Amino acid sequence: MRRRTFVALLGGAVAARPFAARAQQKAMPVIGVLATGAPDSASPFLRAFRQGLGEAGYVEGRNVAIEYRYAEGHYDRLPALAADLVGRNVDLIMASSPPSALAAKSATSTIPIVFRGGADPVADELIASLARPGGNLTGVITVANELIAKRLELLSELVPRAGVFALLVNPNTSTAEHVIREVQQAARAKGLQLHVLKAGSESEIDAAFASLIQLHADALVVAADPFLSSQRERLAALAARHAVPAIYAWRENVAVGGLISYGSNLASAFRMVGVYAGKVLKGAKPADLPVEQPTKFELVINIKTAKALGLTVPPSLLTSADEVIE
């Protein structure tokens, strides 16, 4: 009788192991990543995010699980993807862009959200203030389109004979009209002619470049936007094919063959988002974590692309460049 009792108890312990394992797995915090782009284009930034998580003591698959949702450049998919993550009751949502952050905020007021935002998340109605965000959101901001007039100036310095410029902007963003006005004003101040081209899809990018050639534009300013950022290889290839000097917001555009960029360091921003996510998982409240702001902007030039375009980079630009890609 005693032996039967022991066997029964042992059997019960073995049977209980799967349930215990599942309980342990559930105890592992889960982060839901809400990305605007596609897996390939988002990979360097998500790698930086995981690096930041690692610095905070969290390693994917070891003590944190991550579920990824990609909008593939279709902003209208973000609300459903955010709702899916909320339905899965993730412990934290990482929003990779302002559109992602807005979708996440609309989906939940309780799950913590750490975002990579634009220059003014207060105006975007994501947070109450940079110092004390309030609510369930905090994050890191990058300054991009606020520097677009400076980009026009830099490109004009690199291509001094250019008199006709084009601006490529995604019309599906809330900042599009503001960006257009900024560049128009900067172009008028320099006596330059400006054409505005709009693209919110891959086919529209191709059509925009066809229009750019018909308009005999000498140079191109590409607005900062999650979708356009995800299309960096296509943009670089089209600019090279049509021999159009172009300036971008992010270093990543120049790394794949773009000519020049000026703006915040996106990888550093995503690394800091990872650090913040780790703090929140350890118990910090987003409402009490001040939004991180960039302290440095980087100028990156691709000399190989400049040579292919027949451009000589002025010594003043080379001296001030933070990185020169040969």
pLDDT of 70-115, one tens digit each?
A: 999 999 999 999 999 999 999 999 999 999 999 999 999 999 999 9
pLDDT of 217-232, one tens digit each?
A: 999 999 999 999 999 9
Q: Write down the pTM of the prediction.
A: 0.86
Mean pLDDT, range 285-300, rounded to an integer: 93
Cα–Cα dist 240/238, whole Å: 5
Domains in the chain: ranges and CATH? 29-143+266-288 (3.40.50.2300), 145-263+298-325 (3.40.50.2300)
Q: What is the pLDDT of residue 144?
A: 80
Name the band, by pLDDT with cuts 50, 70 and 90, for residue 174.
confident
pLDDT of 203-212, one tens digit each?
A: 999 999 999 9
Give me the phi and psi of 22, to 5 degrees please: -65, -35
Name residue 312's amino acid. Answer: T
Mean pLDDT, range 32-36, rounded to an integer: 97
Q: What is the pLDDT of residue 143?
A: 84
Block residue for tokens 């930041």? 52
pLDDT higher than 90, residue 7: no
Residue 242, class by beta-carbon neighbours within 10 Å (0-12 exposed, 13-18 middle, 19+ buried)?
A: middle
Block residue for tokens 């890191």? 140
pLDDT of 112-156, one tens digit each?
A: 999 999 878 998 889 999 999 999 999 999 988 789 999 999 999
Three-state SS letters, 107-169: HCCCCCEEEEECCCCCCCCCCCCCCCCCCCEEEEECCCHHHHHHHHHHHHHHCCCCCEEEEEE
Q: Which has more confidence, 10 or 197?
A: 197
Residue 307 near residue 260 (C-beta atoms within 8 A)? no
Return the percent helix, strand and coil in the chain, to nearest 5.
50, 20, 35
Q: Which letter, b or e, does each residue of 104-133 get, where b requires 16 or more Cβ atoms within 10 Å of its Cβ?
A: bbebbeebbbbbbbbbebeebebbeeeeeb
Residue 79, class by beta-carbon neighbours within 10 Å (0-12 exposed, 13-18 middle, 19+ buried)?
A: middle
Residue 290 near residue 307 (C-beta atoms within 8 A)? no
> Helix or strand or coil: residue 267?
helix
Cα–Cα dist 89/119, whole Å: 29
